[in-house]
Amino acid sequence: MSTLEIKNLHANVLPTEEGQEAKPILKGVNLTINGGETHAIMGPNGSGKSTLAYTLAGHPRYEVTEGEVLLDGENVLEMDIDERARAGLFLAMQYPVEVPGVSSSNFMRSAVTSVRGEAPKLREWVGELNAAREQLQMDASFSERSVNEGFSGGEKKRHEVMQLALLKPKFAVMDETDSGLDVDALRIVSEGINRYQEETGGGVLMITHYKRILNYVHPDFVHVFANGQIVTTGGAELADQLEAEGYEKFV
């Protein structure tokens, strides 16, 4: 069973303009996720939830100043972004970017080739891609469309979950995957996340503002994030409390 350990993680967001100073966002995050577990991080806007996701993935705008992140004992902070992905760390972005001119099928095959170390045989790949697409109820024309270009919000999130299904990482960081989804899309996306976990035994870190996705992707642990760190932890019932009472008592 794989383990992801976040130890005393501090990170700054780097300035976008000359003369500005780096701003501390993460202020000592400690969290251990084992394979097969689902952890939900909930918290108010500006608390640092998305910063945690992008710092784990290696976004260049975030500078780690202290701490370590161990994936099966290896410090991923010493790895390049692509090395982190090949090691088994996956990020589903809150706002997936468009990649004009690159078809979704070619994008997915390149990603799978990089992770698996060899290109899947074409006939097998077509079957694998179509099976993943059909499970997420995406139109057959999807494969030839440019990555995320002209996709609806729901299609973008389904595309992220399809990557999850095909890449089969050890740990999936899902950054507000429920944002912008209607009821049907939320159910389909959630089923995809659950299916990934059942098939791979992977761990899930679900970052969300709201409880609604947790009605489908049931958490083993719920963590409240405030001022750049985890301030309290509980079971699934904590999400109900936050839904009813808000975050004020924890901030």
pLDDT, tens digit (0-9, with 9 covering 90-100), for 32-77: 999 999 999 999 988 999 999 999 999 999 999 999 999 999 999 9
pLDDT band at 81 (very low <50, low <70, confident <90, very high): very high
pLDDT at residue 179 in the model = 86
The pLDDT score that the predictor gives to residue 203 is: 98
Q: Which pLDDT value is given to residue 249?
A: 86
Contacts of 116 (CB under 8 A, 6+ apart): none
Between 20 and 193, name the one with better pLDDT: 193
- 202 falls in which pLDDT band (50, 70, 90)? very high
Distances (CA, A) of 42 to 34, 56, 209, 242: 19, 17, 5, 8
For 142-162, how does the pLDDT look when each residue is reduced to its tens digit (9 = 90+)?
A: 889 999 999 988 899 999 999
pLDDT confidence of residue 21: 87
Per-residue model confidence (pLDDT) at position 1:
87
CB 187, CB 137: distance < 8 Å = no
Cα R_g (the chain), whole angstroms? 18
Q: Is the pLDDT of residue 163 over 80?
A: yes
Q: Please give the average per-residue pLDDT across 111-126, as a whole number.
A: 92
pLDDT at 19 over 80: no
- What backbone phi and psi angles, to 5 degrees, belong to 244? -85, -35
Query: How does the average pLDDT of the chain come out, rounded?
Result: 94
* CA dist., res. 26 & res. 133, Å (int): 36
Residue 250's pLDDT is 82
Q: How far apart are CA 113 and CA 167, in angstroms?
A: 9
Percent of all residues in the chain with a pLDDT value above 90, rounded to a whole number = 83
For residue 25, what pLDDT is reported? 96
CA 114/CA 128 separation, integer angstroms: 16
pLDDT tens, position by position, 232-250: 999 999 999 999 999 988 8
> Residue 210's pLDDT is what?
87
